[in-house]
Each structure stands twice: as C-alpha cells, then as structure tokens.
Chain A
Amino acid sequence: MQPRININDKRSPERGKVDRKFALGNLFRYLKPYVPVLALIFLANVSGTVSNLVGPWLCGLAIDKISPGGGTDFRAIGYYAALLVALYIVSALLEYLSAVGMAYVSRGTVRKMRRDVFAHLTTLPVSYFDARQTGDIISVMSYDIDTVGESLANDVIIVLKSVVMIVGSLVMMLVIAAPLVLVFAVTVPLSVLMTKLIVSRVQPLFRKRSKKLGELNGFVEEMITGQKTTRAYNCEEKFIADFEVKNEEAIEAYSRAEYFGTISGPCVNFVNNLSLTFVSVCGALLYMHPMWGITMTAGQISSFVLYSRKFSGPINEIANILGEFQSAIAAAERVFRIMDEPPEPVDGEGAVPLGDVRGDVEIKNLNFGYEAGKPVLKDFSLSVESGKVIAIVGHTGAGKTTIINLLMRFYDPAGGSIEIDGKDVEELTRTSVRRAFTMVLQDTWLFAGTVYENIAYGNMNATREDVERVCKAAKIHSFISRLPKGYDTELSDNAVNISKGQKQLLTIARAMLLDSPMLILDEATSNVDTRTEQIIQEAMKNLMKGRTCFVIAHRLSTVKNADKILVMRDGDIVEQGTHESLMAAGGYYSELYYSQFESA
C-alpha cells in the first residue's frame, strides 16, 4: 500500500476552493446524462454488498447448528448452505454488473471530454499554442482525462461499496453484540490517525523521489544524446562521475521514501490484528460468562470476527482513495481550465466573407508586440499591388515572421490596420481572409496519412488528376510514383525515407492545389542543400505565377528577383527597394549582401 502523491498547484486556498467547485460542477454536467445508469449501479451495488453482508450472519447460524458430540442438525445446515450459495452468486453477479456499469459511465464521460477538449482546442487562437509546450497540452488530453476516468471507474465504486460495507457490518455487529463494537472505538481512530501521520510524512519524500528520478532520467537522456561529443572530447569519465552523483541522490531519495512508505502496510495490518485479538478475548469471555444481558454463541463470535474484517478493510481503503480523489480533482481542474480558455474572437458583427480577391494589400501604421512593453513592429506600413513579389530580409528577431502572423490573422494588431483590396480585414471573416493566402513554411507539416491525403488536405474536392497535376508542377510526381504504393503510400513513423527537400516539395504541391490569390513563403528553403533548393525554386516559380507573394528568406540569392525588398531591423523597415537600387544605395542591405563574399 503506497501513499499516492498529489501534485497540488501552489495557489491560495481561496482560489483552490473556487477551482474545486468549478471542476466538480463541470464534472457533474458530464455525469448528468448518466444519472439513471448511476442510480441502477448504486442499487446493484447496495444490494450486492448487503447480500455479501448477510453471509457471515448465515455462517454463524450454520456453525451454531454444529455440535461435535452428535445431534448436528444437517437439515438446517443444508438449508443455510443453499441460502448462502444463492446469496453469494447473486452478490458476485451484482458486483460484476456494477463494475461494468461504472466502466461504461467512465468511458463514455472520458470520450466526451476528449472530444469536447479537442473541439475547443481547434477554436483557440494560435497564441495559446505558441505560449505553451505541446507536451503540456497533450498530457492534459491523455494523462489528466485518464486520471479522471480511472477515478470515476474505480474510486467511485470502491467508495460506494466501502461505505455500504462499513455501515452494514457496523449494523450487523451492533445487532450481534453491541458492547463488543466498542473495541473499534479504539482501533479505528488509531488506524486513521496512523495512516494520516504516515502519509503526511511520506508525501514530501515521495515528491522528492520523483523529482530526483526525473533529474536522473533527464541527465541520462541528455548525455546519451550527446554521446558522440563526449567521446570526441574524451570526457566519458567526468560524466560517469557526474552521473554517479545523480544516481546516488536518486537512490537515496528512493530509499528514504520507501523506508517510510512501506511502514504503512504492516501498521494497518497490526491494527487489524489488534482488533481481532480484542474481539477474540472479549468474545470468549462473553461466551463463558454472559454480561450486560448478552450471551454469545461460537457462531456469533465467528460472524462478529468476519464482520470486523469487512469493517476495518474498507476504512483503510477509503483513507487511501481520498488521496487519489485529490489528484483526480486536480486533473479535472486542468481539463476544465482548457475548456475555459477564451476562443479566438468571433468575427465582428456584419463581417462579410472576402470574395473574388485581386490581391492588393495595404498595411497602415501597424503596431504589435507579443508581450506588453516589448514592441516587435513599430508603425509598420506597406503597400503591395496585386501580383507583385515582396521580399522581407533581416536578422532573426527583426519581426519578419510577425508580419505573417498578422496577415493571416493568427494575432490581432495592437494598432493600425490591414486592408485587402481596400477592405479592412477586421470587417471580413477570419476564415475567408486565411483562405485568400497560401503558406509554405520552413517547418513542413505533414501528418500520418497517405501522400494523396496530405496533398489534398486543403481542398478535399480535389480529384486524383488534380493532385497528380500539381505534383508534376512541383517536381515531386516521379518521386511519388517510385514509392511502394505511389500516392497511397502512408507517410508515418519514418516508414518511408523522405528527405527534408522532398517534404518541402509535398507542401508546395499542397499549396498549388489551393489556388489562393496570395502566397506566403517563410524561409521555405533554408534547411536544404543548394541542389535541392534549385529544384524547389523551380517549383516555386510555377507556384508564384500571377500571385501576390510575401517571401521571407535568409539567403539573399533567393530574393534578388523580388519586385520590392524590405530590409528590417528591430521591427522597423530600414530600407526598401529593388535589389539593384538597394545595392546602389550601399546601405545595410549591401552590407549583408557583400558579407557572403567576404573571406578570411
């Protein structure tokens, strides 16, 4: 029996209470449709437990019919035996049914929760995902929701059963020999107190144990990943020594936690044995010499002992489960906190979809920063005519990608406006604005699915011919044809050896299929070698034909032919013009350009 560890957030008790109420209230909303099922489960549970409780009583009655000297009443014993068999079968059946019922409820709830959380996530703004670790969001979806479900399926039923069992056996014991129950007035508080004491001592130790183990694992992961480097610098011994320190710490924390953790089992057993001893001795005394008007038969002692086992077991169980409940509620809080996140602002009243786009873009006095007080774009203005190519160059952090975040309305500006074909985007629906652009990003995004599905992702009406047509234009068709199943090859888990460049060509093909009037290329070729880049450039030329293009690039060779080049520095446009005019001006751009030829 190990004490559970609760990871409680550091928050004020006040806030915690509100959150708990909030979590429980929401949880209840999910359980509401199951109220009839839950009622049935409760009924099955109570009657199952009750029939289980009647057992020892019948056993006692049967034992009393035994008299070793002869004259045993076999008919009566047979009668009781038959009754017992029927009872136990019914009780087992009911127990099974209520467990399955509860599993049904919890699985249904979990599924609905997952669906709702996911559906809500799709409405959240991009900033939500930018500000959080992917792992955190996933752990809510898998681990936290699971914890809630497990708690529903197991803990609820155990608590229910335990409560009925405790009350029932208490009643039975009171009926058999009320004064004997006094024994538990000593042992029950003793065991509760002990469990509490141990748990409070052990919990911080277990937390430390997990922390140290986490540190050790983190170190291992890090060092094994960097093994080649370690070998290159001959410092294996040094890092083995570092590992040894962490190893020793982890084992020390483990041992300390376990020393105390493993005390609780024997202690609880001890208290149970203690009550058994008291019950036996007192029972025997009553058997020999009735007191306070109570006589006890051997059968009654037997029933009482059996009930006392049924009584003390569940008490300890409940004490343990309360801890689990805490973590389930904490998990539920995290789940519902996601559902409470404000979604992307809805389109303003009277927002109209953007139709028939020419592709003129006018950016006026845009101001924006991800954090208050840290502006990324300052009074940024830009005007682009339909069909022109605009290149944006500059150092990392100069604000290039931010412009795209704002154009796509992933973020809303703090001031200024963006107009497409003379219409303010704030007055247009978000979806239609996004649809007017096609993006090809540095990080290619492909999902587990067939090649065909990946390319047709943005346009599900695309026929096979359409897909093949764009793949030919993107110069990736012959590669796909050579795959084991051609366009039906599954792209998953590195099963297919596909290079970065080929991935990029696939996303270009996907972009071509969209046929949007405007195009955004964000460092689309920075991670591939020159040869592959040339192929991609070729494909890109096809894609860019007749569209308004925003190109962000590292390599200046890729932007030389742009109609206009913006040179950005710290959120400002410091220069703009064509390649030739910028070179002639001899400013920052030419400095950047010449530095690639500079040699030692």
Chain B
Amino acid sequence: MTKTLRYLKPYSGTVIAGLVLKLVGSVAELFLPVLLGDIIDKVADNPAYTYDQKVKYSLIMGGLMLLCAAAALLGNIFANRLTVKSSGRMTHDIRYDLFSKTSYLSSRKTDKFGVPSLISRLTSDSYYVNQMVARTLRLGVRAPILILGGLCLAFSQDVMLALVLLACLPVVGVIIFIVTKKSIPVYMGVQQKQDAMVRRMQENVTGVRVIKALSRGEYETERFDELTRDLAATEFRANRIMSLSNPLATLVLNLGLVALIIVGAAAGDTPGTVLEFLQFFVIILNAMIALSKIFVVISRGSASAARIEEVLSEDVGENIVPCRESADGAIEFRNVSFSYNGVGNNVKNVTFSLGKGQTLGIIGSTGSGKSTLINLLMRFYDADEGEIFVDGRNVKSYPAAELRRKFGAVFQNDFLMAASVKDNVDYGRGLSKEAIDRAVDCAQAREFVDGLEGGLSYNLAQKANNLSGGQKQRILIARALAGDPPILILDDSSSALDYATDAAFRKALAAEYPSATKVIVAQRISSIKNADLILVMEDGEVIGAGRHEELLNACGEYRLICSAQMGV
C-alpha cells in the first residue's frame, strides 16, 4: 500500500491543511457538552453569582456554544473540500500511471494478468482506492479525534466517570468486530449464490430458443427456484448476524449510562457533570460506529491498492538486442520455435522466406499455430528459438515503434471502438483523407459506408454492434490498408465476407497495393490460392509449403481441405 499512498505526497500540503481544519472542527464539537455542563454547574448553580450575573454568563456560554457550532460547521466543510481535492487528484494520477503502464505492458505480461483483470484494476480497483482515501481522510480522522478528544476531556473532568466510559469502548469494539468478522464469510456466500443466479439467468436468456423448442420452461423454473431458495436462506442468515450489532452496541452504551449515574451518585458528582458525560457517550458511540464502517472500506481498499501496485511495478523497458546477422527479402523465419506457457511448443521449427511484394498464405485448422506466427513476426512475443528477420534485420534489433510501423494488420476478432468509421480507419494516426478513401474503396467498404447515415462519420456502437460481421471486417481491412504499409497482415479477416465480395477485394488489393508484402491467414482455400508461398500448418509445424499446384500434388492434408471446400 505504501506505493499507492506515495501518490498523496504531491498533495501533502492540501492533506495537512484538511486534517488541521478537521481537528479544529472536531475539537469545537467536543467543547459543546463541556459548555453545556458548565452552564448548569458553574453558572446556574454558582452561589457566588447574582441572578443578573447568572443570566449574563448563561448567555455568554450560549454564545460560545454557537461559536463552537459554527467553527465545527466551517471547519468540517472546508476540510471535506480539501480532502475531496487531494483524493481526487491522487486517483487521477494513479489512473493515469496505471493506464500508461498497461498500454505498454508486453503481451506476455498482459497474458499473465489477463485482460478482464487489467480492466477491473483500472475501473473498480482504482475506484475502491479512491473511496478508501477519501473516506479515511474525511471520517477516519474525525472519528479517532472525537474518541480520543472525548476521552481526554472526560478524564480532565472526572476520572471515575471517565473510567466507566473507557470500560464500555472495548466491549462495543469487540461486538462490532465479532459481528463483522462473522458476517464476512456469509456475505461472500451471498455473493457467490448471487453470481450463480445471474449465470443461470444469462444461460436461460441466451438459450431461450433451445429451451422453448424443447419445452423445458417449467423445468428451468424449478431449477431456478432452488437457486433463489438457497440465496434467500443465505441472505437471511447474513441479515440475522448483521442485525445483532446495532441493538447490542446500543445496549452496552445504555448500560454504561446507567453505570455512569450510579458511579456519579456514589462519587458525589454534580448533576451537570453527569449530564456532560451523557453527551460524551453519544458522541463516542457515533464515532465508534463510523470507525467500524471505515475498517470495511480500508480492508477492501488496501486489497485493491495491492492489485494496482502489482501492475505498476511491472517493468516495460524495451529489450533491443543488437544483431549483426542479416537476411534478404521482406520476411524470413529461421528454425523458429515458441511456446506461450512453456509446456509444449505452439510453433515448432518453422523456416521460410518471402521476397518483397510477394504473398504468403497460411492455412490449417484452429490451434495449429497460424496466429502465433503473426504474433512472433510483429514481435508481440519473442521466439524461444530461432531468428525472425523483417526487411533484412532481426526483429529483436528494432525499436518496437519502428518495427510495427512496417505493418498494417487485421487480427482475428480484431477490435473496433465506439467512434466514427473514419476514426476507426485512421486509428489515431492522422492519415490523409485520400489515403482513407483509397483504403475504404479497396476494402470494398465504400458501398455500405455510403449507405450509413453520415457515411464515414457514422458512429459505431460499443463493439460495433450496429454493423454486421462482414461490414466490421471490411472496416478493419481498410484500417490496415490506410497506412500504405510495406507489409500487410490479414489474419482470418475475410471469413464473414461472401465469396463474391472476397474475390472483388483480392482483385482490388492486387491492383491498388501491388508493392505491399502480404501475409494472409485463412480458412478458405480461395483466399490464398494464388499466394507465392502457402504454408500448411498442423500442430505448430509446417507440413506443406509451396504454391497451390505444388501442394495439390505434394500435401495430402491440403488436398483434403481443397476437396472438402471446392469439391475439386
């Protein structure tokens, strides 16, 4: 947590000013009961004063109480403002660093955390840390001040009565602690059962056609009913436990109150003192309850802080290895092997080379290592063995930005953002209108883009849900083409296009971007049939390499795929 708290450092002035104001406000509040007791004991009951003097001093005391109340009001308001400011800025800084760090994490490290986990660290975890800091600064300081200050004042007034007060606190503390501790596992159970319920709902909604087709509605209702019964029972258990804390804590303090009266009477205290102590009791009780709530916030917040720090402490430095060896052509793989998790190779001993402007086709079943070749080529991962050359230089010798500038790529299930079509094609590169138009035309996207409201400025929904699969792919292809890249990578990027559109695209690509070296991963033979080199992959190995005609003769697997798809 220390690393997270260090983010408060630039705002330490604000934090300290806030704490001082908070202190002033809280102390002012504490003086109210003292003054109340004094009105009775030192003024109203003081035989030394005349009646007029008594009235006068009562009013003065009242005025002082008003001043204290006003000080408490202003102190707290301004203190809160300062804490909001410092916690807000701190959260901003943490989020900024976290997002930047995440953006530059290597693929291996991204895999280690997992995308959903990285997202939740940026969203909910940063929110919980914010809550923790804001709440702690706002209430976590006030509560201890009230408790400690209240106790100090109490001891200065009357030691015996203060001891009674002091004796009650640990009891209340223990009660709150035990109840909270008991309830946490029960609440976790509630959470799990709730998740199970949501999952079942999700299943049912997505499977509504199947369920209706099989008339399983009643059966599903029964199954769901079991879940809700279970959930309700667990929730009731949690409620029963949590319902204990309030009555119990109040009871202890009320009993303390009775003890106070008895002790006060026995010790010969004045009624004013007893009255004053009753007020201390109320203040301290409220502070205790506030404190118990803060503990929950802190425990959750510190867990989140740890998760954030885990990412922040990752190293993202570039690993550039100078390399003297060189190669000819656009792309060359030499005995490349690679494994994502160190168990079993995902790519084994791959060797091939491709000249500038040539086309490479890769075909093979799912999981055969096609996309892995792309990942290695663009150096999202480093090969475990062997070398990869792009434009004659080892990929490890390039700065990442320089290497990737050579590529225009469409990945499998690639990503479109909720922005305009133009922004998605441009993708933050500031390309010229001509370049974008040319790419859109070539990708066969022109016809449907013109049909959209606003054309290129049409806004896509989240995950581009307002486009069909084929439309999405065409925009992605346009993105890859728009930068006029020396190397074009299309990983299963035309699977949703019908054959006619796919063919038209390939024709346009050859005519419009003839100098680009093309790497095409596909399921369809027709997409790669005319490539200069076709690699047939199986279980990470190249089991056939050559041109279409050569493979038809030499590679059984390739022939099989062909006959299945085309009946040739």
Where the two chains meet, the residues of A that have a C-beta atom closer than 8 Å to any C-beta of B are: 55, 59, 62-66, 68, 70, 72, 74, 77-78, 80-81, 84-85, 88-89, 92-93, 95-96, 99-100, 103-104, 107-108, 110-111, 114-115, 118-119, 121-123, 126, 129, 134, 137-138, 141-142, 153, 213, 216-218, 220-236, 238-240, 242-244, 247-248, 251, 254-255, 258-259, 262-263, 265-267, 269-270, 273-274, 276-278, 280-281, 284-285, 287-289, 298-299, 301-302, 305-306, 309, 395-397, 408, 410, 431, 434-435, 437-439, 441, 443, 445, 447-448, 457-458, 460, 499-501, 514, 528-534, 554-557, 560, 591-593, 595-600
Residue contact B214 to A114, C-beta cutoff 8 Å:
no
User: Contact mask B376-400 → A, CB, 8 Å, 1/0?
Assistant: 0010100000000000000000001
Nearest CB to that of A299 among chain B residues?
B271
Residue contact B523 to A530, C-beta cutoff 8 Å:
yes
Residue contact A302 to B212, C-beta cutoff 8 Å:
no
Which residues, 254 to 288 on B, are CB-close (under 8 Å) to A? 254-255, 257-258, 261-262, 264-266, 268-272, 274-275, 278-279, 282
Nearest CB to that of A579 among chain B residues?
B567
A81 CA to B164 CA in the complex, in Å?
15
Residue contact A302 to B271, C-beta cutoff 8 Å:
yes
A267 CA to B72 CA in the complex, in Å?
9
Residue contact B209 to A234, C-beta cutoff 8 Å:
no
Residue contact B122 to A220, C-beta cutoff 8 Å:
yes
A217 CA to B118 CA in the complex, in Å?
12
Nearest CB to that of A241 among chain B residues?
B428
Residues of B within 8 A of A224 (CB): 102, 115, 118-119, 122
User: Contact mask B143-171 → A, CB, 8 Å, 1/0?
Assistant: 00000000000000000000000000000
Residue contact B262 to A298, C-beta cutoff 8 Å:
no
Interface segment, B35-43, B181-189, B293-301, B326-334?
Answer: B35-43
Residue contact B80 to A263, C-beta cutoff 8 Å:
yes
* Of the residues B202, B428, B529, contact of A235 by C-beta under 8 Å: B428
Q: Decide yes or no whether B545 CB sits under 8 A from chain A.
A: no
* Of the residues B210, B235, B367, B428, contact of A233 by C-beta under 8 Å: B428
Interface segment, B90-98, B302-310, B340-348, B437-445?
Answer: B90-98
Residue contact A81 to B76, C-beta cutoff 8 Å:
no
Can you give 10 A-B contacts (C-beta < 8 A)? A111-B229, A129-B205, A231-B107, A255-B84, A284-B44, A288-B58, A289-B55, A595-B500, A596-B566, A597-B526
* Of the residues B68, B123, B282, B510, contact of A217 by C-beta under 8 Å: B123
A231 CA to B106 CA in the complex, in Å?
10
Residue contact A228 to B107, C-beta cutoff 8 Å:
yes
* Of the residues A72, A227, A457, contact of B110 by C-beta under 8 Å: A227
Q: A74-B265, A251-B88 are in contact. Are A269 and B54 (CB under 8 A)?
A: no
**B-side binding surface: helix, strand, loop or mixed?**
helix
Interface segment, B6-14, B236-244, B350-358?
Answer: B236-244
Residue contact A532 to B365, C-beta cutoff 8 Å:
yes
Closest Cβ–Cβ distance, residue B502 to chain A (whole Å): 7
Residues of B within 8 A of A302 (CB): 271, 274-275, 278
Q: A111-B229, A134-B202, A598-B499 are in contact. Are A276 and B36 (CB under 8 A)?
A: yes
Residues of A within 8 A of B36 (CB): 276, 280, 305
- How many residues does chain B have at the interface if contact means C-beta atoms less than 8 Å apart? 161
Q: Decide yes or no whether B48 CB sits under 8 A from chain A.
A: no
Residues of B within 8 A of A244 (CB): 96
A88 CA to B70 CA in the complex, in Å?
35
Closest Cβ–Cβ distance, residue A168 to chain B (whole Å): 16
Residues of A within 8 A of B204 (CB): 118, 121-122
Closest Cβ–Cβ distance, residue A368 to chain B (whole Å): 17
A296 CA to B297 CA in the complex, in Å?
46
Most chain B CB neighbours (cut-off 10 Å) among A81, A231, A305: A231
Residue contact A530 to B99, C-beta cutoff 8 Å:
no
Q: Decide yes or no whether B20 CB sits under 8 A from chain A.
A: no
Given contacts A232-B404, A280-B65, A596-B566, 9 further A-B contacts (CB under 8 A): A224-B118, A233-B404, A235-B429, A236-B100, A262-B84, A302-B274, A438-B213, A445-B207, A595-B499
Nearest CB to that of B196 among chain A residues?
A448
Residues of B within 8 A of A287 (CB): 40, 44
Q: A251-B91, A277-B62, A499-B367 are in contact. Are A457 and B214 (CB under 8 A)?
A: yes
